[in-house]
Chains A and B, each alone.
Chain A
Amino acid sequence: MKKQLIELRVNGRRHELALEPSTLLLDALRLDLQLTGSKRGCEDSSCGSCTVQVDGIPMLSCTILAASCEGQEITTIEGVSEHGSLAAIQKAYGDWGGAQCGFCTPGFIMTVKHLLAVNPEPTDEEIRSALSGNLCRCTGYNQMYQAIKAAIVAEQKGVESLSSPVR
């Protein structure tokens, strides 16, 4: 297939890429932009390791075409840290053992970021439900629930902020 010039906005930066129309967003991110934080775990929308946000909505980048995201704002895990420091949710995942091998972690964090954006104080049930599209084989999930709650508290307190580089 002949390549076409496609413009993708990723983490606030504009990229012009020559891609085959059939190129998956995940491959464009990983192979063309070297944004390897989004992972290929199953390639069939089962595991959630490839989750990115497209216009703020969590999407599985292994099953959407890069070309279909033109004109939309894509956020990957690489766009989550704030001014070179960990965002509250990233810090909390580390502190609470929400990440072990870490392969699923970027996908989870993209999902959680969306949950907390639309529902800043989710119930346990809502957290579980929101995370149900992402699989983890190491942790057993419990530590992630704790991390999410800790991140909410940290954000609310603005805690000398776990995330803010400015003190």
Chain B
Amino acid sequence: MTDFSIIGKRIAMVDAAGKTTGAGKYTDDLCVPGMLVGRILHSPYPHAQIKSIDTSRAEKLEGVVAVAIGKDAPNTYGILPVGHDEHALALDKVRYVGDNVACVAAVDEATADRALELIEVEYEVLPAYFDPEESMRAETDLIHDNKPHNLEKDYHHVFGDPEKGFADADCVAEARFIAGEVTHAAMEPHSTLASFEIDSQTGKPGRLIVWSSTQVPYYLQHKLSLVLEMPMAQIRVIKPLVGGGFGGKSEVIPLEIIAAIAARKARAPVKITYTREEVFWAHRGRPRTLIDLKTGVRKDGSITAVKARVVQDGGAYCSYGVVTILYSGALLGALYDIPNIQYDGYRVLTNKPACGAMRGHGTVNVRFAFESQLDELAARINLDPAEIRRRNLLQPPCVTVNGLRVQSYGLPECIEKTVERSGWKDRKGKLGKGRGLGIACSHYVSGAANSIIRSDMPHSTVNIKIDRDGGVVVYTGASEIGQGSDTMTAQVAAETLGCSLGRIRIVAADTDLTPIDIGSYSSRVTFMAGNATLRAAAEVKKQIASAAARKMGCGADELVFRDDAVFRKSLAGESPATTQDGRVAQQLASVSGHVDGQILRGSLQQKRKDEGPKDSMSFEEAVVAAIDFHGTLTGTGSYTPPAEARGGRHKGGGVGPSPAYSYSAQVAEVSVDEETGEVTVHKVWAAHDCGRALNPVSVEGQIIGSVWMGMGQALT
């Protein structure tokens, strides 16, 4: 079925009005009775032992309710099970300027800030490491005692026979590429509000409720449970509107745990919102990366081998680092057909804010290096840069040499479109001195095939409830962070059920109300939560169809759901519903209008008795029939990546596999002022193989936004 009525249409996001009127609430906009303001004391040193902390003067300040320190919650945590190396508040050591030492909960921000100045911390400053290559040589003063040479993790992968590949090459290029560190800089600084409910039975603090600017509410619930030693069922995480993520909110950020610790100690709700400076300290951005890259090609342009040694400057904690360094290698090997690959990846600890996941997690810097080197090789064998890319295409369906299953592959079309639209053939090399066209390609997962916490649990689950009023409530754990998650969910549900968008209500990302979804990261939501929504809606639709078919005296498979009506397929062609802007739907809806459920039911039954079996029913009528028949009308659907998409068996082979990959090609027209070195980007042509664009407004928004963010990295 490609004749969609809602999918593929340009529609405003379902939450747009809240955003354009200021009515929508982000975490920092929330307020609960008795709420205190939390402010964090940060380390002024990059590497130091904490000899002592004296909070007594701060505690005595009028308006200060509590001062929390590391001992108040000494358990370690980290986003990855293999990287539990963080304390929400430092226990005995600080590892970067900005590391978290104490938190004051006070009646207002000014009081909290004054109290921070009264906390006395005695440090013993240690030698610090700022350069990853130097850090790797360290024997003493290690950043974490259990990480010799400050090496968080290293991986050494060999696929095929790289040495033979280089021997077969006609031309080999070798160079070092360095990509600087980048931070997400989402417009909304991170914010968390934590509040304990009093348990009615015990009369003591019971459940914890946390509102937070997060991309991963369920991971947050899990980490809060570890640190606070509370069962997950006693913790409710709610994600309000989130003002941008880009990966920077895709793991548990210190303030999220600190707010809960402070609330527990203060016995009052505590809200912490980072300043912009604190956002940079919290960071979790794209690491500075050193890439020693060697690539061999034959005269015809075909790649024979690639060897990459990648060193990532990971900062002071593991964060997503183990995954980042694996992505760098995994997706190096799966854009083009590369028969032989050697990858040596080193994730190194330094005394700087921790790096984590950022848009295009782990892949961007290595891709920059590879695409640059491919251009150099093309020039050396006298081949057009677009042509050399065409000569190394995969032949899907296939499994790459490093075990990634590729089933659909829009790269050739992406190259073709950008080359065509940019006038590449006529203009390349003819724009005068200092101005030119360049091309590069890329790809990324549509959701990691393996969750951070390995299990066979579905990655997304969606529940749908429909009541007699004909309202459709979709409960999804997926996190709207501005990318259009809620809108996509509403579109898929409405399209599947053949009802109007106005009937759909989205309840999202609230661990008490919504079924688990692993979060908004790895470009997974539309694919995985979308499929879960589709399945949940299809299940409900089946129930409605069986009841409607009984009423209409036909088979359920003869029914079409569209434009708020259910009608027989045989009539679809001539149905006014499809030919006359849904006139039938409106007409039928008016039968039910403005009356409450009971009267509605009676009147509809009367009408049915009068008329006998009919050829069509309004959506509401069909829903009422289904509830009468089945008793309730609910459905659930989930998505689990298939076993065959979960990747190779080698160590680290769990990172990189995806049930589907998206592909892209991009041409940029750029000039450089040869006197000053100033670069101007005149135009960018970008083509993405995203499958079907469920909402073109959102898809274009993602592409345009990512081009700008990429330019930010490239030009600074």
Residues of A within 8 A of B (CB): 30, 34-44, 46-47, 49, 76-78, 80-81, 86, 90-91, 93-97, 99-106, 109, 135-143
Contact = CB atoms under 8 A, between A and B. Distances in A.
Interface in B23-51: 23-26, 28-29, 31
Given A94-B17, A101-B188, A138 B701 contact: yes
The 8 nearest A-B residue pairs measured at CB: A37-B22, A101-B482, A102-B19, A103-B243, A94-B16, A77-B22, A36-B29, A94-B12
A97 B19 CA distance: 11
A100 B22 contact: no
A39 B189 CA distance: 10
> Which of B22, B23, B26, B245 has its CB near the most chain A CB atoms (within 10 A)?
B22
Interface in B257-304: 273, 275-276
Interface stretch (B72-80, B83-91, B703-711): B703-711
B520 to A, nearest CB: 11
Nearest to B482: A101
A90 B275 contact: no
Given A41-B188, A41-B189, A94-B16, 7 more contacts: A37-B23, A93-B16, A101-B243, A101-B481, A101-B482, A102-B16, A102-B19
A39 B22 CA distance: 9
A77 B22 CA distance: 6
Given A90-B17, A138-B701, A106 B186 contact: no
A3 to B, nearest CB: 12
Given A36-B22, A36-B25, A101-B243, A140 B708 contact: yes
Interface of B: 10, 12-13, 15-26, 28-29, 31, 184-189, 241-246, 273, 275-276, 481-484, 697-698, 700-701, 704-705, 707-709
Nearest to B20: A90
A94 B20 contact: yes
A43 B12 CA distance: 30
B21 A141 contact: no
A133 B86 CA distance: 38
Nearest to B684: A140
Contacts of B20: 77, 86, 90-91, 93-94, 99, 102, 105-106, 109
Contacts of B273: 40
A130 B700 CA distance: 24
5 contacts: A37-B23, A46-B276, A77-B21, A95-B697, A103-B186
A12 B607 CA distance: 52
A135 B712 CA distance: 13
Nearest to A41: B187
Contacts of B26: 36, 39, 103
A65 B12 CA distance: 36
A116 to B, nearest CB: 15
B244 A101 contact: yes
Nearest to B241: A102
Contacts of A90: 17, 20-21
Given A36-B22, A86-B20, A94-B16, A43 B275 contact: yes
Contact of B246 (A40, A42, A49, A137): A137
Contacts of A96: 697
Given A40-B273, A137-B244, A99 B22 contact: no
Given A41-B187, A41-B276, A139-B705, A34 B31 contact: yes
B13 A78 contact: no
Contacts of A137: 184-187, 244, 246, 705, 709
Contacts of A41: 187-189, 276
Contacts of A140: 701, 704-705, 707-708
Contacts of B186: 101, 103, 137
Contacts of A39: 26, 28, 187-188, 243
Contact of B16 (A34, A38, A99): A99
Nearest to A34: B31
A102 B482 contact: yes
Contacts of B701: 97, 100, 138-140, 143
Contacts of B24: 102
A138 B244 contact: yes
A34 B245 CA distance: 25
B686 to A, nearest CB: 11
A92 to B, nearest CB: 9
Contact of B21 (A40, A81, A135, A138): A81
A25 to B, nearest CB: 15
Contacts of A91: 12, 20
A81 B705 CA distance: 27
A16 B49 CA distance: 50
Contacts of B187: 39, 41, 47, 49, 101, 103-104, 135-138
A99 B483 CA distance: 10
A78 B21 contact: yes
Contact of B482 (A43, A76, A100): A100
A81 B18 CA distance: 11
A47 to B, nearest CB: 7
Given A39-B243, A137-B185, A138-B482, A143 B22 contact: no
Contacts of B19: 93-94, 99, 101-102, 105
Contacts of A136: 187
Contacts of B484: 100
A100 B705 contact: yes
A53 to B, nearest CB: 13
A34 B13 CA distance: 25
A109 B16 CA distance: 13
A63 to B, nearest CB: 13
Contacts of A35: 22
Contacts of B18: 102
Contact of A42 (B241, B244, B276, B704): B276
Nearest to B484: A100
Nearest to A105: B19
B158 to A, nearest CB: 39
B188 to A, nearest CB: 4
Contact of A40 (B185, B189, B707): B189
Nearest to B12: A94
B287 to A, nearest CB: 20
Contacts of B275: 43
A138 B19 CA distance: 14
A147 B26 CA distance: 24
Contacts of A142: 704
Contact of B22 (A46, A47, A97, A106): A106
A102 B243 contact: yes
B6 to A, nearest CB: 15
A38 B698 contact: no
Nearest to A76: B22
B187 to A, nearest CB: 4
A60 to B, nearest CB: 14
A97 B700 contact: yes
A136 to B, nearest CB: 7
Contacts of A34: 31
Contacts of B705: 100, 137-140
A140 B309 CA distance: 33
Contacts of A99: 13, 16, 19-20
A37 B23 CA distance: 6
Nearest to B242: A101
B579 to A, nearest CB: 24
A107 to B, nearest CB: 9
A109 B23 CA distance: 14
A103 B24 CA distance: 9
A61 B451 CA distance: 43
Nearest to B480: A101
Nearest to B708: A140
B10 to A, nearest CB: 8
Contacts of A47: 187
A77 B244 CA distance: 20
A38 B188 CA distance: 12
A32 B26 CA distance: 17
